[in-house]
Structure 1
């Protein structure tokens, strides 16, 4: 996988940080850092069939697809005679259908669904999902999904196969998963405990004692002392009016309350798979010295054919000759000065001139040495 050079990547981060600093500051609202507990999505899933594929469905030997298709035909009143030949299912694919049921969703409303193949189908592009019940964690049916799939990928396969029976093919993006916008009809709503009791609970998006205290103080400043109290780093309990209409207006008012700007916790997030690195404005570096070298292992395999002597009874044998080499590139010691600003941190990391994977190891070592004043998270 090709990555952008580290110097260019860090330069982009610095430019983005400077642009963020140049924009006028806008106070956060409570709705952007917290949400009412109990008001959440619910996960739904189901097992179904996609039909109408152009020969790219499951192979005929898939027992789960054949059984599912027979069950569907029986529901339609069609029974196959005993001992009949197995169904050819090149145009059918077994799939798992998933969806999120939003809070307060009512029967008759539509929600989006995601359809993913679980069989041997090469592509479900152009297929149609037949009626599939979507169940919650309690086993009850909450929605019915059906519709034509939207698949973003594309692919093509050559018409002639080689000696091994394989065909040349090209593929862009993923062909075994797709979406159906408004593809499920809600059949049952999920009760939401919004109007129970005389209080509501706000759950913060991230645990932080200072943010919890700030949210409680902002509510008390608007609604009066004692209205809200921070229970812990992620929970704020608020006294709410008992009337349902008044409570909705009360919550809407709370969500729009502005919060004073508070210092953010320093954090560095690294994606080990893509090599992307993100630093927030609070990250600082202490003085340290770094020496880093690269260790490379090169394995070269060459096919070797051993021919027997003429008129002998020996057989031709194929083997593989492996040449293994280990190369180590020593690194020089680099002095890293203290960096109190984000621009200084970016400049210091850019001076190392290493790859993203090397930078991951370097940042972990700097953190272990106590010179990285930030939380390091690897995702």
Structure 2
């Protein structure tokens, strides 16, 4: 045996050992930053909403005869400007549309800062393209005004119609105004009012909460953090308010080892989507699956009367019904089968997403599926 052959066998042996290690050695836990798996309680965004009018449309606004609230809103705005519309006069404007304005107030937003707003039609306006939103107060859940929105809409679409033909690209009855609202009131936060901050873990997992507390204590000293439950970790803040920002910036970027998630299968009953995570295993079971199809075909049959019989031609239908049931393949799965084996077996059965719903539910009912089924 020459040197090249020995080297080739050595490489093959190393490759076999690497493959064996990949199969038998446990996979290391994936690390994630603290800010990706937990959030600071009280540091949250708030939703704002307001009702307003978009003006300056090119005849594509609301039809006031079918949307009376648009005419009422326009009349109210004109009265605030000192313009009185004579009673009994029906306004037939086509360049005004009633809209709903929504925005997200970020945490720590201060008066004078600008935020983006979304504008959506409430009536039967054909298009908001080219329109301008008049001053609209934005209120929070407590009824207080936190911002004022105004500006020109940006519509990411186009459309044209003529002679009964219509062409439209994207949606024309909703748009966006970048930096279209000004913050008028800030939301108080308990950031500087307490010496303890609470971290809310995204997943309900005691192991993750414990790892977060241990990692913070290693970086900032023993006793700094304490896991309260599977979703809450209490962290002591520095006494000086100026040091708290740097303290939170440090712990938010700490690397946390993610524990193996609980076995779960998520099923979307509307779309038929099925998502299975890597922790799903099954017990020993046998699965059989077969498709049943029913085909009904109808053929017109004409009955022609004989000559001089004074009869009438009758048209009837002849129905032909066929039932085809494909043979079900019986596949045996051993205990402890991992996700890859489950996927291969289900693909071998030829099961579509709708069939997977029934198969997984039957496996769960039979006690052969070690996972939690969640239907969304």
How far did 1:231 drift? 1.0
Distance 1:154 1:358, change over 3 A: farther
What is the distance in 2 between the residues matched to 1:57 and 1:133?
21
How far did 1:346 drift? 2.3
TM-score by length of 1: 0.78
Distance 1:351 1:256, change over 3 A: same
Contact 2:159-2:166 at 8 Å conserved across structures: yes
What is the distance in 2 between the residues matched to 1:111 and 1:328?
61
For structure 2, the 5+ residue unaligned runs are 1-26, 299-316
What are the equivalent positions in structure 2 for 1:282-297 lying under 5 Å apart?
A: 282-292=279-289
Number of residues paired by the alignment? 329
Distance 1:222 1:87, change over 3 A: same
Out of 104, 107, 111, the residue aligned to residue 100 of structure 1 is 104
Out of 122, 125, 133, the residue aligned to residue 121 of structure 1 is 125
- 1:76 partnered with 2:81: yes
SS for the counterpart of 2:349 is: coil
- 1:332 partnered with 2:328: yes
What is the distance in 2 between the residues matched to 1:152 and 1:298?
46
TM-score by length of 2: 0.78
Q: Larger RCO: Structure 1 or Structure 2 (Cα < 8 Å, ≥ 6 residues apart)?
A: 1
Match of 2:42 in 1: 38
How far did 1:295 drift? 6.5
Structure 1 stretches of at least 4 aligned residues deviating more than 4 Å after TM superposition: 23-26, 292-301, 323-331
What is the distance in 2 between the residues matched to 1:90 and 1:54?
8
Distance 1:243 1:92, change over 3 A: same
Distance 1:93 1:296, change over 3 A: farther
> Which one has the largest radius of gyration?
2
Distance 1:150 1:364, change over 3 A: farther
**CA RMSD in angstroms, aligned pairs only:** 2.9
Match of 2:143 in 1: 139
For structure 1, the 5+ residue unaligned runs are 1-22, 161-166, 302-320
Contact 1:28-1:258 at 8 Å conserved across structures: yes
Which is further off, 50-59 or 65-74?
A: 50-59
